[in-house]
């Protein structure tokens, strides 16, 4: 134990010393460099040499006494280190798109909660309190409008702590009955009352994974089958909305606007496919319009790519595909529903402007 602590202390000392030395040298020599080279252009490589990656991993992880932990972290971040965008992440900082940092209240970026393995494998769960806020929207009536929007839930059992009285750990906020899927009818009805037809896919992806013996990381593969099947049956479903809830705590996911509490939203774009720029532009427009209505209700648009993330989120299926983070683990359905209304208002406005829909 003493040896492990000693290694860590030496590591932290060397790291701090090198950081201070680099800052000092930069301050001393930068004026000289700038005067001698009037036009400096920096070029960052797309891929680091393997020896650099190995060295950086050793610097970050050699002080762990448990070799298995070091190996797991090293394997996970090896790809991330090869991308210079992720270097700051290793030091506890987050990278977000330009739109996400446009407001002071945009950090931190969306975060997925990883459910406990024993819960996922067994499905055994604590009792939950049925929210009163969804009773009126549980049975939406068909309006006959052509369905343009598909609402679905890749992480279908993401739940909320206010309805799980026996649960304190945010990572355990998952439930088969009280979960993010109950926001589907709210969004559907909010769209339809504005003249845009929508369909809520009620497939419980998590339960499907259990039934098939697949792990939780296969969620997006399984939801892809669901989306492709729905689009195959109805070619007009070109607006795809995958609704999640963030694992961030209440201080990051609530907004008090004129005395009314809203659940903050965020949008995630997968950057690992050719059409991601169109997905990003579409999400950024929704983000902008929501904040024009309720300033600060949307935290931003976040692009995720590279190792350690799905990188597509099925958004390659449509340029109008959205991954919506609706609230967080501490939000109530009352707060979620208010923000769902604002989201639906903006989305319907954009759809009707782009493709006028005639009532039957």
In a domain, 157, yes or no: yes
In a domain, 76, yes or no: yes
In CATH, what number is assigned to the domain containing residue 295? Answer: 3.40.630.40
Summarised one tens digit per residue, pLDDT across range 252-292 is 999 999 999 999 999 999 988 888 999 999 999 999 999 99
Q: Are both 84 and 164 inside the same structural domain?
A: no
Are 329 and 338 within 8 A, CB to CB?
Answer: no
pLDDT at 311: 81
The structure tokens listed for 260 are 């009314």
Choice between 172 and 57, residue whose per-residue pLDDT is larger: 172
**Highest-pLDDT range among 16-30, 96-110, 230-244, 297-311:** 230-244
Residues in CB range of 237: below 8 A, 6 or more apart? 147, 148, 149, 150, 199, 230, 231
In a domain, 45, yes or no: yes
Residue 84 reports pLDDT greater than 70: no
Are 160 and 331 within 8 A, CB to CB?
Answer: yes
Q: Are both 149 and 267 inside the same structural domain?
A: yes
Q: Are both 86 and 182 inside the same structural domain?
A: no
pLDDT at 44: 46
Domain that holds residue 68: 2-91
**Total of domains in the chain:** 2
* CA angle, residues 268, 115, 264, in degrees to nearest 5: 35
* Out of 8-22, 92-106, 179-193, 216-230, least confident range: 92-106
């Amino acid at each position: 134990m003493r040896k492990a602590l000693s290694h860590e202390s030496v590591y932290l000392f060397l790291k701090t010393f090198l950081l201070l030395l680099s800052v000092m040298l930069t301050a001393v020599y930068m004026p000289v460099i700038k005067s001698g080279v009037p036009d400096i252009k920096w070029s960052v490589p797309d891929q680091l040499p393997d020896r650099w990656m190995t060295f950086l991993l050793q610097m970050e992880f050699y002080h762990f006494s448990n070799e298995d932990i070091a190996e797991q972290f090293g394997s996970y971040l090896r790809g991330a280190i090869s991308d210079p965008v992720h270097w700051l992440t290793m030091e506890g900082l987050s990278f977000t798109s330009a739109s996400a940092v446009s407001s002071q209240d945009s950090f931190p970026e969306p975060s997925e909660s990883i459910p406990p393995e024993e819960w996922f494998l067994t499905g055994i769960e604590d009792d939950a309190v049925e929210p009163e806020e969804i009773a009126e929207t549980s049975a939406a009536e068909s309006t006959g409008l052509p369905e343009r929007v598909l609402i679905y839930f890749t992480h279908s059992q993401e739940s909320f702590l206010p309805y799980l009285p026996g649960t304190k750990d945010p990572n355990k906020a998952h439930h088969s009955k009280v979960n993010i899927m109950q926001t589907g009818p709210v969004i559907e009805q909010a769209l339809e009352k504005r003249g845009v037809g929508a369909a809520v896919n009620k497939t419980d992806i998590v339960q499907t994974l259990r039934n098939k013996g697949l792990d939780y990381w296969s969620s997006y593969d399984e939801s892809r089958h669901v989306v492709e099947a729905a689009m195959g049956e109805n070619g007009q479903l070109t607006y795809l909305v995958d609704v999640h809830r963030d694992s961030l705590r209440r201080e990051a996911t609530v907004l008090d606007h004129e005395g009314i509490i809203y659940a903050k939203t965020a949008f995630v774009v997968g950057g690992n496919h050719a059409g991601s720029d169109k997905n990003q532009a579409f999400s950024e427009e929704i983000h902008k319009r929501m904040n024009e209505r309720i300033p600060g209700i949307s935290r931003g648009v976040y692009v995720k790519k590279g190792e350690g993330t799905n990188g597509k989120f099925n958004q390659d299926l449509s340029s109008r595909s959205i991954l919506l983070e609706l609230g967080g683990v501490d939000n109530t359905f009352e707060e979620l529903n208010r923000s769902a209304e604002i989201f639906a208002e903006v989305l319907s406005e954009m759809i009707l402007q782009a493709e006028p829909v005639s009532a039957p």
